[in-house]
Amino acid sequence: MKNFEIPGIYKSSIITGLKELRKNEDPRKKDFSPSELDFGPVKFLIARHFGFCYGVENAIDIAYRTIEENPGKRIFLLSEMIHNPVVNLDLQSRGIQFILDTHGNQLIDWDEINADDVIIIPAFGTTLDIERLLVEKGNDVKKYNTTCPFVERVWTRANRLGEDNYTVIIHGKAVHEETRATFSHATQNSKALIVRGIEEANLLADVILNKIHAKDFYKIFDGKFSEEFDVGKDLTRIGVVNQTTMLATETQMIADLLKNTMIKKYGANKIDEHFADTRDTLCYATNDNQSATTGLLETNADLAIVVGGYNSSNTTHLVEILQNKFPTYFISGEESILSPEIIRHFNIRAKKIIETENYLPEKKKIEIAVTSGASCPDAAVDGVLEKILSFFPEAKSKEEAFNI
C-alpha cells in the first residue's frame, strides 16, 4: 500500500507504536480484540483499528503538498477536507479558504474564483455540476483532486448499475458531501434515490409492494430522488450502494430487505432481473473500524470515549455502537475533558454539546474503552490519554505500561 507524507503534528508516539505492534502481530486483521494499556489506576482498552484511513491520508498528503507547490497562490478547498476540526483549522491557518460549507452553502462566491486559483477537491469528492463550473472557469480539477478511491469505486459501481438499467438506491445522508457527489454521478445515466436508514428502506419496500400509494412516495422522499422519477417504472430494477461511512451492517440490512421485497413481488426465480448484488461498495476502513468497535463491546469497560469531529458520519456510527453498552462520550479532543469531574461531549441524539459530571467512576481501577473516527489524527487520541492520565499522579509511566 502507498505510503503518504503526514505532517508530524498528526503523529503519535503511543498510538502509532501500538498500531505497528498489532499490525506486525496480526497483519491480516483476524483479531479485532482491543489492545490494553494498563497504567495501574486506569486501564485503556484501545480499539484494534481506528484513525486515519487510506482515503484520509491520501487527502492530507495532497493538501499539504499543494501548499508547498504553490507559494504565493490563492488555494481553495471546495469544502472541509475531512470532517475533523483539527485538520481543517490547520489548513485554514496555512491560508487555504473554503468555498462551501459541509451542507453545500456558499461561503465564497463563484465569481471570486478565477483560473489562476488552485482548487482542491476534498476526500468526499464533488458533484459533476461543480466540476463543470470549475472547468469552464479554467481551473484544473484533476491535479489536486483528493477524492477517496473507495468513494470513486462506489461511483463506478453506480455507473455500471445505470448501464444495466437499474435504479441506484443510495444508503446515505442526503446533506452529506459524499452522498451529494454520489447522487450526482449516479444520475448521469440512471435514476437514483437516497434512503437515510432502515426505516426509510421499509417505507420504500411498502411503496414497491403497493402498500403505500405512489403519490405518497414523492412526499416521503422529497428532495431525495432524481428528476422525472417514475415510481411505477423506476423501482422495477434496483441496486444498492452506500455512502462509505455509513454503518456497514445497516447497508447490508437495507440490501437484504430490498432484495426480499423484490422476491415477494417478482419471485425468487426472477430476482436477478430486478435486484443487483452490490455489497462490494462497502469501505474496508469503515468495516474495520466498526468491527474493532464491536470488539470493544466484549470488554467490561466502565465507560467509552470516542474522539473525532462532531459532523463525522463514520465517527457518529462508532458512538451508536458503543452507547448500546457503555456510558459513551463523543469528544473532539483533550480540550473536551475539562477536569476529573466534568467532560464536555456531543450528544448525538440531542445533536448538541453537553457537559456531564462524575463521568469517571469512583473505584480503585477504571477501565476506559477508546476509539476514534477515520478522520481523527492519532495525536488527538494521544492527547486524550495524556489528559486522563494527568488526573492520576500515581499512574505508571508510558514506558512501564507499554514499551514503545
Q: What is the C-alpha to C-alpha distance for residues 149 and 125, in angstroms, rounded to an integer?
A: 10
Given a cut of 90, whether residue 268 has pLDDT beyond it is: yes
Residue ranges of the chain that CATH labels 3.40.50.11270 = 54-137
pLDDT digits (tens, 9 = 90+) for 151-194: 999 999 999 999 999 999 999 999 999 999 999 999 999 999 99
| pLDDT for residue 404 | 46
Confirm if 182 and 155 have CB atoms less than 8 A apart. yes
Confirm if 235 and 207 have CB atoms less than 8 A apart. yes
Q: What is the C-alpha to C-alpha distance for residues 272 and 283, in angstroms, rounded to an integer?
A: 24
Q: What is the C-alpha to C-alpha distance for residues 305 and 139, in angstroms, rounded to an integer?
A: 42
- Nearest-Å Rg of the Cα atoms of the chain is 23
Give the mean model confidence (pLDDT) for residues 382-388. 96
Given a cut of 80, whether residue 148 has pLDDT beyond it is: yes
Choose, from 178, 320, 334, 367, the residue flagged as catalytic: 178
Q: What is the C-alpha to C-alpha distance for residues 191 and 186, in angstroms, rounded to an integer?
A: 7
Look at residues 162, 158, 153, 143 and name the one whose alpha carbon lies nearest to residue 69: 143
> Where is pLDDT greater, at 249 or 192?
192
Instruction: Please give the biggest Cα pair distance in the chain.
Output: 69
Q: Is residue 368 helix, strand or coil? A: strand
Reading the block at residue 181, the C-alpha cell is 457527489
Given a cut of 70, whether residue 280 has pLDDT beyond it is: no
Q: Is residue 66 helix, strand or coil? A: helix
Q: Which of 49-53, 90-94, 170-174, 223-227 has the lowest mean pLDDT?
A: 49-53
| pLDDT for residue 247 | 87
Q: Is residue 165 helix, strand or coil? A: coil
Q: What is the C-alpha to C-alpha distance for residues 231 and 214, in angstroms, rounded to an integer?
A: 6
Contacts of 172 by beta carbon, 8 Å cutoff, 6+ apart: 178, 179, 182, 194, 196, 242, 243, 246
Q: What is the C-alpha to C-alpha distance for residues 12 and 404, in angstroms, rounded to an integer?
A: 11
Give the mean model confidence (pLDDT) for residues 275-302. 88
Question: What is the third-level CATH fold of 54-137?
Answer: Rossmann fold (3.40.50)
Given a cut of 80, whether residue 2 has pLDDT beyond it is: no
Q: 372 has which bridge partners?
A: 307
Q: What is the C-alpha to C-alpha distance for residues 227 and 117, in angstroms, rounded to an integer?
A: 33
> Where is pLDDT greater, at 282 or 18?
18
- Which burial class, exposed, middle or buried, applies to 166 when counting CB atoms under 10 A from its CB (0-12, 13-18, 19+)? buried
Residue ranges of the chain that CATH labels 3.40.1010.20 = 8-53+285-401
Average pLDDT of the chain to the nearest whole number = 94
Q: Which CATH class is domain 8-53+285-401?
A: alpha beta
CB atoms under 10 Å from CB of 320, counted, come to: 18
Helix axes 128-137, 177-186, angle to 10 degrees: 90
Whether 112 sits among the annotated catalytic residues: the reply is no
- Which burial class, exposed, middle or buried, applies to 263 when counting CB atoms under 10 A from its CB (0-12, 13-18, 19+)? middle
pLDDT digits (tens, 9 = 90+) for 198-207: 999 999 999 9
Look at residues 319, 318, 353, 360 and name the one whose alpha carbon lies nearest to residue 339: 360
Confidence of residue 400 (pLDDT cuts 50, 70, 90): confident
pLDDT digits (tens, 9 = 90+) for 289-342: 999 999 999 999 999 999 999 999 999 999 999 999 999 999 999 999 999 999
| CATH number belonging to the domain at 163-282, selected among 2.60.40, 2.60.120, 3.30.530, 3.40.1010 | 3.40.1010
